[in-house]
Structure 1
Amino acid sequence: MKTRIAAAYVCLVLVLASCSATPDSRPDRPGALRVAIVLAGLANDSGFHQIGADGVRKFQQDGEIELQIRESVINPVDAEPVFRQYAAEGYDLVIGWGFSYADAIFRTAKEFPDAHFLTTGGADVAQKATANVATWTYAAEEMGFLLGYIAGQSKLSPVAVVEGEKQPFVQAQWFGFSQGLRLANPAAAEMPPIYTGSFEDAEKANQATATRIREGARLIAANAEGYAPGVASAAKTAGVATVGLASTTSEAAREVNIGRVRVDLVPLMRGVLDRLKSKSFAGQALKSTLANRSLVPSDINKVATAPDVPGDLDSRVDDLVSRLAAGKLAVEPWTPGR
């Protein structure tokens, strides 16, 4: 009886998952690795979830992998049976691209020791890589430092941060931001960050941005997440500049955003796929950094809301990246309680 119930449950999961998965358009390539990625948001959100999707789409386009993308599985409880489904179907790599997925991935990996997985997390996830689970995180302080430097070059002040959830990796990023801002503009004033509690709620971000602007902010720092259109809209309405948004966020973002630092997952994913092919997958702890070119300055732009941005900002940013990557300039690490 238990066997029949379990079989029926798996069938139901397979049916439900197939309804919202994005299939590979060319499924019969001999020798191609089969990869599935589960996202906690949308694959075109111009933010974190698109980073994951774009990081594997490149290899689909090149014919190296067959790809399934499952979007908007917000709750890890809902994601876990999807991970099991892909593992049971024999996918070569199952990726859980959501910071709340780690526990579900590790539980699934124990049930399927012959399958391979990748999970995301904060700095501590690097210590948890196993024989069949690779981990990914990013150098949050480095990303923030470079973004803060870009913000400081504008000479705008006060500077306000509008963010989603108050997670440790997010706090680490904004700690690095303060350091980069001081390097570029020691006179800049910073307002305390506003955390709306959601990486996706654009309306809350819009309200928080408008609040800080009323309080005097002349530059809003944020991230390229689901909430970003709300930040851009409020900034454009008030004629205030931003940093951290993607140019694809909205027309408003293109008009007010000075620049950002994006994650390019492709260089790291190249190594993951190579190790899968060579059967040397075990123990991978991946980290996007400036040195491995998985953190990249992007969308550097001259905007009307930031008239004092130097014309050679691109080259200044490139020089800073070189110094950071070479270890000639150190970023102070964030610790809890700071």
Structure 2
Amino acid sequence: MKQRMVVVVLVAALLITLIGCGERDAAAETEAADFKIGIVLDVGGRGDKSFNDSAYEGLVRIAESYRGFIADDPDGVDFGNTVEMKYLEPREGGQDREQLLRILAEDGFDLLFAVGLAFSDALGKVAADFPDTHFALIDGFIPDLEPSSNITCISFAEHEGSFLVGALAGLMVEDMGGGRVGFIGGMDIPLIHRFHGGFAAGAMYVNPALRDSGMVMGQYIGQDPTAFHDPQAAESIAISMYNQNARIIYHAAGASGSGLFKAAYDMRRWAIGVDSDQGRVYAESDTAQERAIGEHIVTSMLKRVDNSVYLLASEFIGGGGSVAGGYESYGVDDAGVGYAVNDYNREMVEPYVEQLEELRAQVVAGEITVPDSHTKLAEWQAATF
């Protein structure tokens, strides 16, 4: 009898708690947030283990720091009601980019991020129609912006971060007894050329054997945005490069990079990820297959999209809903780009960290100039060696 009474009391207490939580949640929903921040991700959306996931992590950090929540979020991120956030994902072809930006602007969002250069035209049109909303374009470019503009373009010195992972690849290949390195780009455009140029320069800078023609291989998947969503093409290119004695391959190919990682695992070679810490993401996967693949990711060139989202949003919130327009750029000097060291790759990368940090300091000091395109490598080599 006494045990039954205890059970009844516990159940009653649980019901009271649940009812109380429901009332608190309902009250929170009726209370307007102080700020509304939205993001339209690039094609592929969440789960790309790269660019989009990094942008989403920026939202999570905002929620944690400013007591906010992400509406309609499958992960249920909710720390309070001060900042309401929401993300939308375009259809596969990306034709609805402008429509999604308009949906959020019309819904009263104060600060809107668009992730990816393909948003440049759409964001410019929508921003003109919503002058009281501030827009942030990540990786795209809109000319002639002023501090009074309602647009901020955010860019990264990808060539600087790629220089560091290229140097790591060059040093590792030298210790392996020689071999080539490779680069796989997604869309053949100037933005991705920055990754290519920096990686090749870093590998050549530390490893003289890689300065010979053909020792640093490079190939692009395509000429349109679908190149960032073609893992099969990336896998095919990677297999070809590995068969030509590439020991390590670096990608800047978005979701296509998963094809490189699969090839690295299948052929027992090495790969370098991009944007987010892809090695850690794979190592902490729920699936044994992805965890095994993660063991072949040496490091990743970190492009801290999460930092850019978090910092601009923090400035916006701190400014009471106002932030200057214009241009923001992040490089190795402010941790905007870099390389990943984690519990899973530390043993492999740590022997090279001192050399990499010396190179970072030289880049920051201007003692090393990193080419921002593979098309400038010959000129850079002539001036450097």
TM-score class, shorter-chain normalisation, is 0.7 to 0.9
Which residue pairs with 1:173 in the alignment? 195
Which residue pairs with 1:47 in the alignment? 50
SS in 1 for 2:155: strand
- Shift of residue 326, structure 1, vs aligned partner: 3.4
Q: Any unmatched runs of 5+ in structure 2?
A: 1-27, 69-82, 283-289, 378-385
Which residue pairs with 1:318 in the alignment? 357
Name the amino acid aligned to 1:190: M
Which residue pairs with 2:373 in the alignment? 334
Which residue pairs with 1:18 in the alignment? none
Name the amino acid aligned to 1:162: I
Name the amino acid aligned to 1:242: A
Distance 1:53 1:251 in 2: 22
SS in 2 for 1:193: strand
Distance 1:202 1:333 in 2: 26
Q: 1:242 to 1:267 in 2, by over 3 A?
A: closer
Which residue pairs with 2:17 in the alignment? none
Which residue pairs with 1:262 in the alignment? 302
Could you state the TM-score of these two structures normalised by the residue count of structure 2?
0.72
SS in 1 for 2:113: strand
| Bigger radius of gyration among the two | 2
Deviation string for 1:191-227 (max 9, x for gaps)?
4412122112111111111112222322212137211
Q: Specify which structure has the higher proportion of helix.
A: 2
Which residue pairs with 2:24 in the alignment? none
* Counterpart pick for 2:329 among 269, 287, 290: 287
Name the amino acid aligned to 2:54: I
Distance 1:144 1:310 in 2: 15
Which residue pairs with 2:6 in the alignment? none
Which residue pairs with 1:158 in the alignment? 180
- Shift of residue 252, structure 1, vs aligned partner: 4.1
Q: Any unmatched runs of 5+ in structure 1?
A: 1-25
Do residues 220 (structure 1) and 249 (structure 2) align? yes
Name the stretch that deviates more: 152-161 or 99-108.
Answer: 152-161
Could you state the TM-score of these two structures normalised by the residue count of structure 1?
0.81
Which residue pairs with 1:20 in the alignment? none
Is contact 2:196-2:373 (8 Å) kept?
Answer: no
Distance 2:361 2:32 in 1: 41
Name the stretch that deviates more: 43-52 or 182-191.
Answer: 182-191
Name the stretch that deviates more: 92-101 or 272-281.
Answer: 272-281
Which residue pairs with 2:38 in the alignment? 36
SS in 1 for 2:132: coil
Name the amino acid aligned to 1:323: Q
Is contact 2:167-2:203 (8 Å) kept?
Answer: yes
Q: 1:294 to 1:35 in 2, by over 3 A?
A: same
Do residues 113 (structure 1) and 131 (structure 2) align? yes
- Shift of residue 268, structure 1, vs aligned partner: 3.3
Do residues 183 (structure 1) and 199 (structure 2) align? no
SS in 1 for 2:255: coil
Distance 2:33 2:231 in 1: 43
Name the amino acid aligned to 1:332: P
